[in-house]
Structure 1
Amino acid sequence: MIFSVIFPVFFLLFLGFISVRIQLISKEQIHALSAFVIKIALPALLFHALASKDLHEIWYPSYFFIYAGVTAFLFIMAFVIGRKVFANSFTHASIYSHGASMSNTGLLGAAILTLLMGNEAMIYLSLVVIIESVFLIPTVLVLAELGRQNQADLTAILKSTFVTLFKNPLFLSVVLGMSCAIFQVQIPQTLDQVFAMLGQTASPLALFIIGGGMVGLTIQSVNLQTVYLVVSKNIAMPILVYLGLSYFTDLEKKMIYAGTLIAALPMPSIFGIFGQIYGLNEKALTPLMISTIFSFVVISVLIGLWW
């Protein structure tokens, strides 16, 4: 099983990398493909998977709150340590904390979990998407803006953040999909087939994009904080999620394994984007690169143990 999952993952990553490396596809085209996956293909996949279910099949409060609790704990720990130990500014501490507590759920998570579990994976991924898009990312943006603006207008910042949230296709697809499940709204079969066809492109394209996006990235700014961020994201987070789901819930093993695997994923690419927006540049790209490489080792071990 491990070969049947890991081989296509690494092959698609390599294909994306070599395609950009030999300039068969440009970096700009990779960005366009990424926008297609995040804004169209993956939302279609999530909506298709959720809308056809009953609420009790997609809402697992114990799973949701354990994962959310671990995310909040690691974010707060990274923020406090960033301020007190590494002397980061308020803004930079919030960005670093984002990297220490959020996975690449949308691209890499969807690709790997779908290979392992099929469309069932979308249930577990959607709950994490809610945590990340409704709670974590808005918190990061609000804190970062509060730190950057000397006379911050909190109302304006919150308004801007929530407008961004409600323009997020991933968030909207989860909300609409769960609403269909709650109110038992039946999607016309022809339309549902369109969502299914779009969704099928998400996983392979996501891996291709990640591989292509690694061209040109280098490890240049390794320090103690980089090590801390990678340990928090790729070691502490999966361990805490696994322990929380195993000892404080009565969930099935496959759900525990899925949550742990999502937690073991690398930092999201948006962490690097935020880092550039708020002046961290290589200080954010370096932990992102190391986290991506190291996570494949952790994920391969977990797949070998459980699948």
Structure 2
Amino acid sequence: MVLKTCSMRLLKATRKAQVEPLVFEILLPMSLLMGTGYASVKLGLLTAEQIKGLGGYVIKIALPALILHSLASKNLHEIWLPPYLLAYAGGSLILYALAYWIYKRHFHHVLTQTAVLSMGAAMSNTGLIGSAILPLVLPNHAVIYLSLTLMIENLLMIPMVLLLAESGLQAQHHPSRMLYQALKNLLKNPLVISIILAMLAVIFELRLPEILDNVLNVLGKTAPSLALLVIGGSLVGMKLRALDTQTITLVLLKVVLMPSVIFGLFFLLPYASTEMQHAATLIAALPMPIIFGILGQIYGLEQRAVAALMLSTLLGFMGISVLVACWW
């Protein structure tokens, strides 16, 4: 009995010793890089415009390079994951519909404002924050999950939001024309282009020239660290204004309910792996995307959108820190 008790204690101590360094190795670099970005702007080493430029580089150059380099070398069966697509797309649509009902029925917003606010509950900052965090916890498959999520967000969620928002402003505008214009703009997005090219390479079993692949590899490696630097620098000057019941409700829908719903949906799908479930839940727990703040400014919701974006960033990082500590 004594020997059994000692063995159990030794096993628990061993597991704790294995987990703590992993959490330390993941969360500490994240915090230091974000802190460096914040301090760089706060001390005047970098300006807000330079941080914005670095963010543009990550989204338009480094992340597309990372996606193209990583996916183009895969086989179709490695990246075609229907359970992931169904669970994440389904969870996103469920959250969007729920938020739409709440803000239309209970808070009495017009169609355009409801469409944009609902986006905050159903989309994550996958391109910037996701590309910084997921490779740290899932180095072998992170790009696959990021690419599938970006496909859902860029080809399903954003066109739907824009279509509804514009429909509220211009009822006479033909919906199919607005959707066509939205899709046309999305097809110019480097992220979408890189995903399409990578998928074509996988389907037709094409391989990138070695020189091009090496260049993409070098560019792609800069994405995670620079993304964290940009996130930290972007926090300077953000303030929690318009913090009311509506804003808090929206943030809780995003950082609490969305990951919970997506986590639960995986139990309903066959052939869904634990890794898929954890990756999708972690991405769903990320803060709201920057584009939510941009659309909020365009459609007259600037203060509420910025406040929700800021609060979701604070709570989101707390949530993903808990998930990383529990699962990795």
How do 1:225-240 and structure 2 match up within 5 A?
Answer: 225-240=246-261
Task: Find the counterpart in structure 2 of residue 297 from structure 1.
Answer: 318
Task: Find the counterpart in structure 1 of residue 32 from structure 2.
Answer: 11
Measure the CA separation in 2 of the matches of 1:16 and 1:232: 28
| Rg larger for | 2
**One-letter amino acid matched to 1:148:** L
- In the alignment, is residue 199 of structure 1 matched against residue 220 of structure 2? yes
CA deviation after TM superposition for structure 1 residue 222, in Å: 1.1
Task: Find the counterpart in structure 2 of residue 146 from structure 1.
Answer: 167
2:77 to 33, 56, 70: 56
Measure the CA separation in 1 of the matches of 2:324 and 2:247: 26
CA deviation after TM superposition for structure 1 residue 155, in Å: 4.0
Listed one character per residue, the Cα deviations across residues 196-249 of structure 1 (whole Å, up to 9, x for unaligned) are 100001111111111111111100111111121111111111111111113423
Task: Find the counterpart in structure 1 of residue 149 from structure 2.
Answer: 128
- In the alignment, is residue 82 of structure 1 matched against residue 103 of structure 2? yes
2:192 to 171, 180, 189: 171
1:42 to 51, 54, 63: 63
Task: Find the counterpart in structure 1 of residue 45 from structure 2.
Answer: 24
Give aligned-pair identity as a percent: 46
Task: Find the counterpart in structure 2 of residue 258 from structure 1.
Answer: 279
Superposed CA RMSD in Å reads 1.1
1:112 to 130, 133, 144: 133
What stretches of structure 1 of length at least 5 have no aligned partner? none
Measure the CA separation in 2 of the matches of 1:24 and 1:249: 51
Measure the CA separation in 2 of the matches of 1:119 and 1:95: 35
Structure 1: 4+ residue segments shifted above 3 A: none
Query: Normalized against structure 2, the TM-score is what?
Result: 0.91
- In the alignment, is residue 92 of structure 1 matched against residue 142 of structure 2? no
Measure the CA separation in 2 of the matches of 1:277 and 1:286: 15
Listed one character per residue, the Cα deviations across residues 132-179 of structure 1 (whole Å, up to 9, x for unaligned) are 000000111111111112432434322321111101111111111111
- In the alignment, is residue 249 of structure 1 matched against residue 270 of structure 2? yes
Measure the CA separation in 2 of the matches of 1:120 and 1:190: 23
What stretches of structure 2 of length at least 5 have no aligned partner? 1-21
Listed one character per residue, the Cα deviations across residues 79-138 of structure 1 (whole Å, up to 9, x for unaligned) are 121111111111110111110000110011111001111142010111111100000001
Count of matched residue pairs:
307
Whether the aligned pair in 2 keeps the contact of 1:49 and 1:119 (CA below 8 Å) is no
Measure the CA separation in 1 of the matches of 2:111 and 2:50: 35
**One-letter amino acid matched to 1:69:** G
CA deviation after TM superposition for structure 1 residue 31, in Å: 1.2
